Structure 1
Amino acid sequence: MNKTISIIGSGFSSLSAACYLAKAGNDVTVFEKNETIGGRARQFKKKGFTFDIGPTWYWMPDVFERFFSDFNKQPSDYYTLEKLNPAYSVYFGKEDYITIEDTLDKILKAFEVEEKGSSKKLKIFIEQAKSNYNIAIKDLVYNPGVSPLELITPKTITKLNQFFSTIKKDVRKEFKNERLVKILEFPVLFLGAKPSNTPSFYNFMNYADFGIGTFHPKKGMYQVILALEALAKELGVKIKTNAPVEKILVNDDGKATGIISNKTIYNADIVLSGADYHHSETLLDKPYRQYSELYWNKKTFAPSSLLFYIGFDKKLKNVNHHTLFFDVDFEIHAEAIYDTPKWPENPLFYASFPSLTDNSCAPNEKEAGIFLIPLAPGLKDTTTLRETYFNKIITRFENLTSQKVKKHIIFKESFCVNDFVKDYNSYKGNAYGMANTLMQTAFLRPKMKSKKVKNLFFTGQLTVPGPGVPPSLISGKLVADLIKKHHSN
């Protein structure tokens, strides 16, 4: 192709696209506004502790393998992967939790202990989820969201009814035990929508969870970003950090001709933005924007988050690498995110203790803890609110896990709505992009190719396939294919 391509942002989708486009013979430069690359998947280090700022779950290893194999590489060329056992545990009350282990057989046994007869139902449920996974991940998500016909293949015809039922209906039809229901509905949160609004077809996430399992890259998720960076540089990609983009340049013919970064013009044949889609359009003069403020305002966005990164001066007990706290009403918290956006009275929360698995994450005999509360995007975010909610969850954490930790905190740093806006230009401070509801699936998501500006493209979690790390890697491949198609010599 031999085009000059400027890419805005250096998250998973941008780096993925950069690799594919460089491999095709283009001159690719990535512009990152922050000091370090990775977008939301950056790293934070303090006093010998290391934290992943963003994603902490490594699911769908086959997607990563498929990505690297496109370059005759494999993940193990760059980082070491460890399967977690247990994958995670879910607390429902004081010292009352269910542990999800590393094989389906073990999980079936755990379900059977909880509810007699549930293991048979789970086996059938996961078989269907596996069938959907094979269609979705091996086939369907590798479509660019250009046409509704992409959803209609000989395999999906038999599944079409699953686009009109929901995860919530399907799970509750089979399982009556409220605790098991919560565990089966939980993976949908990664798609950024309520189980009652997520098409049944997305139960493939349950297969990713129970059928394939949860992994940890040694030294953390940031190793995957460093792997993408190393691969990109091997392919000749140039990466500029501390390089915010102020404007996308468009000529009189309505064609993108480059960008302005740090007041310098960089000419390009093609501009690709992996930055927040809404923000990317604000870099254009108004006539060239495809979507109005009203359009964005009406969309269902995935949650934002209040995060805490904490260094503890002792090892913690009664927790796993990934631990979920579902001891409060899920529905009420979900309403506070999606229906009437407000700070939840009693939030569910998630905690990750990577140093339980990986001693590179904390000094000897100390523990690194990441705590996350999902929130509605666009909420008022103040230091006082952050502190109030920290006290809420840490008090509950102490009670549920029967241990004192408040006095053992060396430091804590927080990250919330305002930081998502400041660091990532994120629309309303969302953390995961746009939710995968029925009306925001596939071709109904914002387009990868601008309808108003020639040679301008978009990638990332606001376009196809959607939120999450594996979908972002796939998004980079899709947009690179689209660019190649439009510019094949």
Structure 2
Amino acid sequence: MKKIIIIGSGFSSIASSCYLAQQGHKVEIFEKNDTIGGRARQYKKDGFTFDIGPTWYWMPDVFERFFADFGKKPSDYYQLLKLSPAYQVYFGEEDKITIGDTLEKIYTEFDRIEPGSSQKLKKFIDQAKDNYDIAIKDLVYRPGESPLELVTLETAKKLGQFFSTIAREVRKEFKNKKLVQVLEFPVLFLGAKPSDTPAFYNFMNFADFGLGTWHPKGGMYQVILGIQRLAESLGVKFNTHQNVEKILVENKTATGIIANGTEHQADIVLSGADYHHSETLLDQPYRQYSESFWEKKTFAPSSLLFYVGFDKKLKNVEHHSLFFDVDFEKHAHAIYDVSEWPEDPLFYASFPSKTDENSAPEGKEAGIFLIPLAPGIKDEQALRERYFEKIITRFEKITQQKIKKNIIFKKSFCVNDFIKEYNSYKGNAYGLANTLLQTAFLRPKLKSKKVKGLYFTGQLTVPGPGVPPALISGKLVSDLIKKYE
């Protein structure tokens, strides 16, 4: 049995804590904030409840596989509701696409937009499912130690898809601009432009259309609390208000941490905090990656978020609503190519109280608005206000209702908050993008090359951004600790 200290309490950290405790280790988590969950925390005000971070529950099979490793099911910890429709995409007034909760409904909707397109979509989804089975049931559960992990009989057949892009493959089959945007949307969860994301990642389309969009009753934070209960039942100890200031190293071996000025000894240190930040907790000789290494990497976007309480129910919107009424390419260019505020931003809005009475007092609505932004961008209160005004004005026009006067309160969260709350590199929201040169073994390593007994987990390492990959990252790193320690 070894004493293991884990830095941070996001999905990767708490998932790994369960596996490591199951292996028989004594595991303690140190979290700098007052509540656990990392980016997946909660904000409560005046009877309203908001998920601060992730709001989409995709890939339910990954959560099932995680809990099954402990002889449990998600339903032992939280109740899942399948959203119907999954989400809606608005292109303007009276111009929207509804993504239903079954493939049949989605095929019908595609045919409504472009007659005959459902046949192409069926073929596309079949291929996406095939890739999903290869990727999610096998490839992503490999620790990124060697390029050979990607070489299997199945991937050999798909080699061309690693060198083509989502954008190219989608546009080969679909000519309607709206359908193209709907098919490219899930890739944004991987943190890169569709034109920079390998075509193999179209498995996200199967995750979207084939497996559906779900909502844990009480919000995504219920998943965090469920995993915490599992971890505590296995003996994991949680410490909040504990800011880790240093990772201690002796003879090139991790020996513990300093948190709030106090030393804590450990046999193994695992950081689920931002990878770049975690390395700054080490003395220079023990850091694996230079500042210029991080500078050259393609980071997933940051976000400007608003948590808004409304004093009435809103019309003409679904639980998840995407507003694509402006130029997608221009917004992507602002994020990925020039790092500036987009003139006319696409945005996403979520109204959990459409599904979940726990989210808002009776007769009221909880709204979350998100604008994707370039990481490292200038963040000022005046800019936040200007952009809120932009999106709310468009929201009113598109959904044909006045809501500005119905706002009880609003709280914003942007680049500066991501840095302050999560020590996030340049204030990124989703980690390191999954481009071809940042896939699998090309991502920062789970195991330190310079310090024995030091490991990393989370969205800047393997397998990548998103909640399901974060759970998988926790499993991968615990398997490596079992292998090497």
TM-score by length of 2: 1.00
AA aligned to 1:133 is Y
Question: CA separation in 1, counterparts of 2:392 and 2:94?
Answer: 15
Question: CA separation in 2, counterparts of 1:17 and 1:372?
Answer: 29
Identity, % of aligned pairs?
75
Match of 1:484 in 2: 482
Question: CA separation in 2, counterparts of 1:115 and 1:98?
Answer: 12
Q: Is 1:388–2:386 an aligned residue pair?
A: yes
Residue 382 of structure 1 deviates from its aligned partner by 0.4
Q: Is 1:35–2:34 an aligned residue pair?
A: yes
Alignment of 1:442-461 (within 5 A): 442-461=440-459
Match of 2:56 in 1: 57
Match of 2:420 in 1: 422
Question: CA separation in 1, counterparts of 2:27 and 2:408?
Answer: 43
Alignment of 1:174-213 (within 5 A): 174-213=173-212
Alignment of 1:7-86 (within 5 A): 7-86=6-85
CA RMSD of aligned residues (A): 0.4
Q: Is 1:110–2:113 an aligned residue pair?
A: no
Matched residue SS, 2:299: coil
Report if aligned partners of 1:361, 1:368 keep a CA contact under 8 Å in 2. Answer: yes
Q: Which runs of 5+ in 2 are unaligned?
A: none
Match of 1:144 in 2: 143
Alignment of 1:309-324 (within 5 A): 309-324=307-322
Alignment of 1:402-417 (within 5 A): 402-417=400-415
Matched residue SS, 2:39: helix
Match of 1:121 in 2: 120
Residue 155 of structure 1 deviates from its aligned partner by 1.3
Match of 1:279 in 2: 277
Report if aligned partners of 1:308, 1:370 keep a CA contact under 8 Å in 2. Answer: yes
AA aligned to 1:174 is E
Matched residue SS, 1:435: coil
Question: CA separation in 2, counterparts of 1:265 and 1:26?
Answer: 20
Report if aligned partners of 1:16, 1:228 keep a CA contact under 8 Å in 2. Answer: yes
Question: CA separation in 2, counterparts of 1:357 and 1:325?
Answer: 20
Match of 1:230 in 2: 229
Residue 399 of structure 1 deviates from its aligned partner by 0.3
AA aligned to 2:217 is K
Question: CA separation in 2, counterparts of 1:244 and 1:136?
Answer: 36
AA aligned to 1:85 is S
Match of 1:169 in 2: 168
Residue 456 of structure 1 deviates from its aligned partner by 0.3
Report if aligned partners of 1:91, 1:325 keep a CA contact under 8 Å in 2. Answer: yes
Question: CA separation in 2, counterparts of 1:19 and 1:210?
Answer: 31
Aligned length: 485
Question: CA separation in 1, counterparts of 2:226 and 2:481?
Answer: 24
Report if aligned partners of 1:419, 1:429 keep a CA contact under 8 Å in 2. Answer: yes
Question: CA separation in 2, counterparts of 1:95 and 1:453?
Answer: 59
Question: CA separation in 1, counterparts of 2:278 and 2:248?
Answer: 12
- Counterpart of 1:356 (choices 354, 369, 372) is 354
Residue 231 of structure 1 deviates from its aligned partner by 0.3
Report if aligned partners of 1:95, 1:402 keep a CA contact under 8 Å in 2. Answer: no
Q: Which runs of 5+ in 1 are unaligned?
A: none
| Cα offsets for 1:166-212 (capped at 9, x unmatched) | 00000000000000000000000000000000000000000000001
Residue 144 of structure 1 deviates from its aligned partner by 0.3
Matched residue SS, 2:21: helix
Runs of 4+ in 1 over 4 A off after TM superposition: none
| Cα offsets for 1:112-132 (capped at 9, x unmatched) | 010011000000000000000
AA aligned to 1:346 is D
| Cα offsets for 1:41-80 (capped at 9, x unmatched) | 0000000000000000000000000000000000000000
Question: CA separation in 2, counterparts of 1:244 and 1:276?
Answer: 13
Question: CA separation in 1, counterparts of 2:257 and 2:40?
Answer: 24
- Counterpart of 2:376 (choices 375, 378, 390) is 378
Question: CA separation in 1, counterparts of 2:377 and 2:338?
Answer: 11
Matched residue SS, 1:90: strand
Match of 1:303 in 2: 301
| Cα offsets for 1:213-245 (capped at 9, x unmatched) | 000000000000000100000000000000010
Match of 2:470 in 1: 472
Question: CA separation in 1, counterparts of 2:477 and 2:424?
Answer: 20
Q: Is 1:289–2:287 an aligned residue pair?
A: yes
AA aligned to 1:35 is D
Matched residue SS, 1:370: strand
AA aligned to 1:196 is S
- Counterpart of 1:346 (choices 334, 338, 344) is 344
| Cα offsets for 1:144-176 (capped at 9, x unmatched) | 000000000111111111100000000000000
Question: CA separation in 2, counterparts of 1:303 and 1:405?
Answer: 28
Question: CA separation in 1, counterparts of 2:406 and 2:113?
Answer: 35
TM-score by length of 1: 0.99
AA aligned to 2:108 is K
| Cα offsets for 1:70-103 (capped at 9, x unmatched) | 0000000000001000000000011311100000
Alignment of 1:82-97 (within 5 A): 82-97=81-96
Match of 1:262 in 2: 260
Residue 268 of structure 1 deviates from its aligned partner by 0.4
Match of 1:241 in 2: 240
Match of 1:156 in 2: 155
Report if aligned partners of 1:247, 1:284 keep a CA contact under 8 Å in 2. Answer: yes
Question: CA separation in 1, counterparts of 2:470 and 2:159?
Answer: 25
Question: CA separation in 1, counterparts of 2:155 and 2:233?
Answer: 38
Report if aligned partners of 1:33, 1:245 keep a CA contact under 8 Å in 2. Answer: yes
Question: CA separation in 2, counterparts of 1:239 and 1:267?
Answer: 16
Question: CA separation in 1, counterparts of 2:482 and 2:126?
Answer: 37
Question: CA separation in 1, counterparts of 2:434 and 2:42?
Answer: 27
